[in-house]
Amino acid sequence: MNCFNHVTTPAVAICKNCNKGLCPDCLTEIKNGIACTATCIDEVKSINGLIERNKNLSNRAVSTYNRMVFIYGSMGLLFIYAAYIYPELNLYMYPAGGLFLLIGILTFIANKKRYKSNN
Ligand SMILES: [Zn+2]
Ligand SMILES: [Zn+2]
């Protein structure tokens, strides 16, 4: 393939946005890619921005889930600890603690799956 602008010059790269062949004089190197005109540079930059934002969003979701696992887990342990200290509350504390631990474990598993699908 030859350069889109200079038909006799062999292309060394391809614009990430419009897929035109580009010679060293015509290409602009930007983050994560090569673009030709100013329009294409903006286009590629906004695509990169979108990808970046998506990544950040899913990472934030994962860390929110991690925090939930931690909260549920410590609530569960707290209830079980309370049941241990106050045996007369056993009847309420053990099921409640178990429930929180269960929710924590389920959230943890869901989070694992989510994390895997992101990578
Ligand atoms: Zn282009
Ligand atoms: Zn050129």
Write the pLDDT tens digit of every residue in 12-24.
Answer: 999 999 999 999 9
20: tokens are 């035109």
Same domain, yes or no: 68 and 95: yes
In the prediction, which pLDDT does 92 show? 84
Q: What is the pLDDT of residues 59-106, one digit of tens each?
A: 888 888 889 999 999 999 999 999 889 888 888 888 999 999 999 999
Ligand 1 center–CA 28 separation, angstroms: 10
Tally of domains in the chain: 2
Same domain, yes or no: 56 and 22: no
Same domain, yes or no: 58 and 116: yes
Higher pLDDT, 113 or 75: 75
5: in domain? yes
45: in domain? no
18: in domain? yes
- Amino acid identity of residue 76, one-letter, is G
The set of residues, in sequence order, having a beta carbon less than 8 Å from that of 36 and lying 6+ positions away, is: 4, 5, 15, 17, 18, 20, 22, 26, 27, 28
Domain of residue 110, residue span: 51-119
What's the length of the chain? 119
User: What is 79-90 written as a DSSP string?
Assistant: HHHHHHH-GGGH
Ligand 2 center–CA 25 separation, angstroms: 5
Ligand 1 center–CA 53 separation, angstroms: 23
Same domain, yes or no: 56 and 111: yes
Which helix (H) or strand (E) element contains residue 14? strand 13-14
Ligand 1 center–CA 49 separation, angstroms: 17
44: in domain? no
Query: What is the pTM assigned to this prediction?
Result: 0.52
